[in-house]
A = this chain, B = another copy of it.
Amino acid sequence: MAQKIKVVQCGLGFAGASLIRSMLLKRTVECVGAVDKYNGVGRDVGDVLGLGTETGIRVTDDIDEAVGGSKPDVWIEATQSKIVDIYPRVKKALSSGINVITLAEEFANPWYFEPELTKEIDAIAKKNNVTMVGTGFNPGLWLDVWPFFLSGCVYHIDKIKIQYMSDLSPYGRSPDVVKNYGFGLKPAEIEGSLKNGSDKSSKGTIGIIHNLAGCLGFELSDVRVRVRPLISTVRQDFSPVVVIEPGEIHGSMVDAYGICNGKEIIEIHKGACCKPSLEVPGFGEEPHTEAVIEIVGEPNLKSSLSLKSENGWSTTAPRLLNWIPFIMKAKPGLLTDLRDFPLMGAIY
């Protein structure tokens, strides 16, 4: 049997924990290290994650030890969203000849967020003959990769329309989510509290539109974005810390348009709220994520995708895991999910 690919998991949050659980069941990859600053330093990862079994892998917060210790092939970075925040660890891993895969949001289209740092990371990877891949966090698949995949199935595209809705109700206990989305506030009160969330959502969505347009061969003259609060029409008593009354905010919607030759050629409506069935007809009551892509062109394609799991809604972590065999034979340098993912789109 071929040797297993050795992986260090950095970040034992929600995604990191599920990645380790999955790796322990795989025949082709092996988790050889676990890194976290906060969770269970010094303890066995099986104990920290409540697996009911010892794994022999001790959680460390010593990056040098994790990089140098077990000669890993791949470093999975599942910690923060921003390139600047994860840069020191990424640099150390790449410089040590370790391939890196990350789900940091900004790495879905790093040239947009940090052009200089991105060039530097690409150079470090090339110099050390290794590869870095940014898969971007959810909705990387939903708003980028899946529409691009479908674009490879048509002759030409007049417009792509994407509607995406995720269910926030399971996050009702998280103070960050409550604050970012302004749960329970009146529309007039959102100035301060919704603003952070709005800015982040709209910048992310602008990045997605530029990225998708570039890959599809559209030259955009303009991107228009609007963030609006979603207002509940019913009382929602869904968590011990949050009650939302009728007329109060229970989420937000980003409406974004990519303009090419005066026409809207990409249209994204990306929503997240506590009770999506109020906003999307037919959306079920169980927490899940749902999206619909329409490609208006020749031929017309319409595709829906919905995801349900007891352990969360993201497809990003599994996609990241499935990248592992590919990164081992990929060309050196910084790749991204959409531009360098082994996938084809429409040609022009």
Q: Which residues of A contact B (CB under 8 A)?
A: 18, 22, 25-29, 141, 149, 152-156, 298-309, 311-313, 315, 317-319, 321-326, 341-348
From B28, B154, B302, B323, contact of A318 by CB (8 A) = B154
- Report if A322-B307 is in contact (Cβ < 8 Å); known contacts: A154-B315, A315-B153, A315-B301: no
User: B299–A322 contact, CB under 8 A?
Assistant: no
Residues of B within 8 A of A27 (CB): 348
When chains A and B are docked, how far (Å) is the Cα of A152 from the Cα of B307? 14
Q: State how many angstroms separate the Cβ of A311 from the closest Cβ of chain B.
A: 7
Nearest B-chain residue to A315, judged by Cβ: B153
Residues of B within 8 A of A313 (CB): 299
Residues of B within 8 A of A303 (CB): 303-306
- Report if A318-B153 is in contact (Cβ < 8 Å); known contacts: A304-B304, A307-B301, A344-B342: yes
User: B304–A155 contact, CB under 8 A?
Assistant: no
When chains A and B are docked, how far (Å) is the Cα of A152 from the Cα of B316? 10
User: A300–B304 contact, CB under 8 A?
Assistant: no
Residues of B within 8 A of A300 (CB): 307-309
User: B309–A305 contact, CB under 8 A?
Assistant: no
Residues of B within 8 A of A141 (CB): 153
When chains A and B are docked, how far (Å) is the Cα of A153 from the Cα of B325? 14
Residues of B within 8 A of A346 (CB): 318, 322
